[in-house]
């Protein structure tokens, strides 16, 4: 008699980014449910609500496991970042996360800090940080580390050839088992400071997945699930659109090369929600592909039917939003959706960590006269890296003012600007607001570039890699536009950004590069200030700054410069544009 099939449930999340307090409805705290043509927008997120939803989903199937696809920590709100994300790890431990891949943001503070997050120990003391009981080791004077396991199958220690963290994880459910391969995208070193990943090699994803998937199947697992911090996007207007319209992105080139050993992929990085039957989209791979969005607004409930003697029989998934309990909302929710109340244990932890940070968080450091925002896509809160944003320009001004010894021009990459500064009367700006905008803790770094190198740097905004990563179909924009400081101006021709600059001409309009109204001299040397991330090799696909001369770490935190700027210049208004786009 054949053994009975076993039902297994994966409860998946990605890109939590320390958002244990409910995120704002304009930045990850809302989702649109399918409910008629326009759908229904609901408020989502918050770890206390997430914990209840996870418990409810587990109660429906005892054979459940909570998994992640990276970026659980870092680029996080103040209440988490002030604890070096120890608070987030404590809360995810309590919710029951069991295994997750690393993401690029797990490396933001370097590989040694990632190992500390996994294994425990206090944050090193110095520069006003690492104070036990204040910003580190907050539970009885210790930080025990993550109970969940980080996987990094494609990250090797160069000196030994061994993986930096485990590559795989096996979970047994009675007569069946599921094997997990966890990894981040190969280009992670381009998204973090070079010093933080020194001595590590990030390998091509598909070959690594196929290698470990084969090993897992050879070891007898009934299904292989990939947890990968890479993803795609769709043109869907509501969640759970399983037609997966317009699916595209960097994940596709990886999936296309995977072997038949892979059954399910839990993805992330793009902060998009989707449930895709990949075979239906490409007729290539019979793989279920999911992503939940970001900031803990939803989970993927992935249900597998496994036959002990045959392996995977079927796989299906639904995105389940973390809808905050509200009687009025409950009465209008479409069929299949319910709200959840707070879990008392996790809610107490959230309150504890918010209280710890409240004194410093609530301190006013200045004022604004109006909202100062990132550039965003049309009718969206998703940042548009192809366009100039007022907040990035303001950050560049703070770099220029704050750098010891002064500088001529400041550049800020758009990925460093993580949230908007929203005006609420009387316009007070607090420490926590600025920390949420600029959470990485990079140092201001100076270097010298010639005028010719500055033009080359700006042309890198539209190199092939940047054009492929960031593309705004609504405006025809592409690339990653660096924010620039006051006094530096230029124009670019958008019709030329996809051409061969050597033969078709530069997108930079001739003679438009100016500093305080004076044309930039190609032969003259200029002092530049940026953040330490941008002087690494291939930082966001920019290489020119790493080739600058006299590169100097000022040891001044970018956030400290931002705070000092507001203290010195308030009330602060949105700055005027510095970059002119033609065509």
Burial 512-535 (b: 16+ CB within 10 A, else e): bbebeeeebeeeeebbbbbbbbbb
CATH number of the domain within which 249 lies: 3.60.21.10
Any domain includes 355: no
Q: Which residue has the tokens 């660096």?
A: 482
Any domain includes 498: yes
Cα 496 from Cα 468, distance rounded (Å)? 15
Helices (H), 256-305: 278-282
Pair 305, 206 in one domain: yes
The better pLDDT of the pair 498, 47 is held by: 47
Any domain includes 506: yes
- Residue range of the domain that includes 469: 363-582
Percent of the chain beyond pLDDT 70?
96
- What was the pLDDT predicted at 445? 92
Pair 193, 315 in one domain: yes
Q: Which residue has the tokens 């399983």?
A: 242
Model confidence pTM above 0.85: no
- What was the pLDDT predicted at 64? 99
Count of the separate structural domains present in the chain: 2
- What was the pLDDT predicted at 398? 97
**Could you tell me the pLDDT band of residue 25, with boundaries at 50, 70 and 90?**
confident
Closest of 509, 483, 484, 482 to residue 495, by C-alpha: 509
What's the average model confidence in pLDDT over 228-257?
93
CATH number of the domain within which 385 lies: 3.90.780.10
Checking if the pLDDT of 321 tops 80, the result is: yes
Burial of 502 (0-12, 13-18, 19+ CB in 10 A): exposed
- What was the pLDDT predicted at 65? 99
Q: Tokens representing 13?
A: 């999340």
Pair 164, 271 in one domain: yes
Any domain includes 358: no
Checking if the pLDDT of 283 tops 80, the result is: no
Q: Tokens representing 344?
A: 């008392």
The better pLDDT of the pair 101, 431 is held by: 101
**Could you tell me the pLDDT band of residue 500, with boundaries at 50, 70 and 90?**
confident
Number of Cβ within a 10 Å radius of residue 571: 13
Query: Tens digits of per-residue pLDDT, 195-217?
Result: 889 999 999 999 999 999 999 99
Closest of 102, 64, 115, 99 to residue 169, by C-alpha: 99
Checking if the pLDDT of 143 tops 90, the result is: yes
Cα 482 from Cα 393, distance rounded (Å)? 9
Task: State how far Cα 470 lies from the chain centre.
Answer: 14
**Could you tell me the pLDDT band of residue 574, with boundaries at 50, 70 and 90?**
very high
Burial of 152 (0-12, 13-18, 19+ CB in 10 A): buried
Burial 100-115 (b: 16+ CB within 10 A, else e): bbbbbbbbbbebebbe
Any domain includes 357: no
Specify whether the backbone of 266 is left (phi greater than 0), alpha (psi in -120 to 50) or beta.
beta
Closest of 52, 53, 105 to residue 80, by C-alpha: 105
Q: What are phi and psi of 229, to 5 degrees?
A: -90, 70
Final residue of a structural domain among 349, 382, 399:
349
Pair 488, 513 in one domain: yes
223 contacts 311 by C-beta, under 8 angstroms? yes
Q: Tokens representing 25?
A: 């409805």
Cα 323 from Cα 446, distance rounded (Å)? 46
Cα 427 from Cα 27, distance rounded (Å)? 19
- What was the pLDDT predicted at 393? 97
Pair 111, 59 in one domain: yes
Pair 81, 209 in one domain: yes
Final residue of a structural domain among 326, 349, 372:
349
Query: Tens digits of per-residue pLDDT, 327-367?
Result: 677 778 988 899 999 999 999 999 999 998 887 788 888 99
Sign of CA dihedral 427, 432, 438, 443: positive
């Amino acid at each position: 008699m054949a053994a009975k099939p076993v039902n297994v449930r994966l409860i998946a999340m990605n890109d939590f980014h320390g958002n244990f307090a409910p995120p704002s409805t304009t930045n990850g705290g809302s989702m649109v449910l399918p409910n008629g043509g326009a759908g229904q927008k609901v408020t989502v997120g918050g770890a206390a609500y997430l914990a209840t939803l996870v418990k409810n989903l587990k109660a429906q199937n005892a054979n459940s496991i909570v998994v992640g696809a990276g970026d659980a920590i870092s680029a996080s709100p103040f209440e988490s970042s002030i604890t070096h994300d120890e608070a987030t790890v404590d809360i995810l431990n309590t919710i029951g996360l069991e295994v997750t891949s690393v993401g690029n943001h797990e490396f933001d503070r370097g590989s040694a800090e990632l190992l500390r997050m996994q294994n425990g120990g206090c944050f090193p003391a110095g520069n006003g940080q690492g104070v036990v009981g204040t910003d580190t080791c907050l539970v009885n004077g210790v930080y025990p580390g993550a109970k969940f396991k980080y996987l990094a199958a494609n990250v090797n220690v160069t000196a030994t050839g061994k993986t930096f963290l485990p590559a795989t994880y096996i979970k047994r459910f009675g007569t069946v088992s599921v094997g997990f391969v966890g990894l981040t995208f190969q280009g992670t070193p381009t998204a973090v400071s070079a010093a933080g990943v020194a001595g590590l090699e990030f390998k091509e994803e598909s070959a690594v997945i196929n290698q470990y998937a084969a090993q897992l199947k050879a070891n007898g697992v009934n299904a292989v699930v990939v947890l990968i911090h890479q993803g795609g996007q769709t043109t869907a207007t509501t969640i759970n659109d399983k037609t997966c319209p317009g699916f595209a992105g960097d994940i596709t080139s990886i999936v296309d090369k995977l072997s038949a050993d892979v059954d399910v992929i839990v993805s992330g990085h793009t902060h998009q929600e989707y449930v895709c039957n990949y075979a239906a989209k490409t007729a290539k791979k019979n793989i279920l592909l999911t992503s939940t969005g970001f900031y803990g607004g939803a989970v993927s409930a992935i249900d597998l039917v496994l036959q002990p003697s045959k392996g995977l029989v079927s796989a299906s998934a639904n995105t389940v939003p973390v809808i905050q309990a509200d009687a009025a909302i409950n009465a209008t929710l479409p069929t299949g959706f319910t709200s959840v109340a707070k879990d008392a244990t996790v809610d107490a932890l959230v309150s504890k960590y918010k209280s710890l940070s409240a004194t410093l968080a609530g301190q006013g450091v200045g004022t604004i006269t109006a909202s100062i925002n990132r550039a965003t896509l049309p009718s969206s809160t998703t940042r548009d890296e192809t366009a100039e944003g007022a907040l990035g320009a303001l950050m560049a001004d703070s770099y220029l003012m704050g750098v010891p010894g002064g500088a001529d021009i400041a550049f800020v990459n758009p990925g460093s600007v993580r949230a908007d500064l929203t005006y609420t009367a009387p316009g007070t700006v607090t420490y926590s607001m600025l920390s949420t905008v600029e959470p990485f803790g990079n140092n201001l770094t100076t270097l010298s570039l010639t005028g010719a190198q500055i033009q080359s740097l700006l042309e890198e905004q539209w190199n092939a890699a940047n054009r492929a990563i960031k593309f705004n179909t609504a405006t025809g924009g592409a690339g990653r536009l660096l924010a620039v400081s006051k006094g530096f101006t230029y124009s670019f021709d958008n019709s030329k950004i996809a051409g061969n600059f050597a033969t078709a001409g530069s997108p930079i309009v001739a003679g438009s590069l100016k500093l305080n109204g004076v044309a930039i001299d190609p032969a003259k040397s200029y002092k530049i200030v940026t953040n330490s991330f941008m002087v690494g090799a291939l930082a966001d696909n920019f290489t020119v700054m790493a080739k600058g001369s006299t590169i100097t770490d000022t040891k001044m935190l970018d956030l400290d410069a931002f705070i000092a700027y507001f203290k010195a210049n308030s009330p602060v208004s949105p700055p005027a544009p510095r970059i002119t786009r033609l065509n």
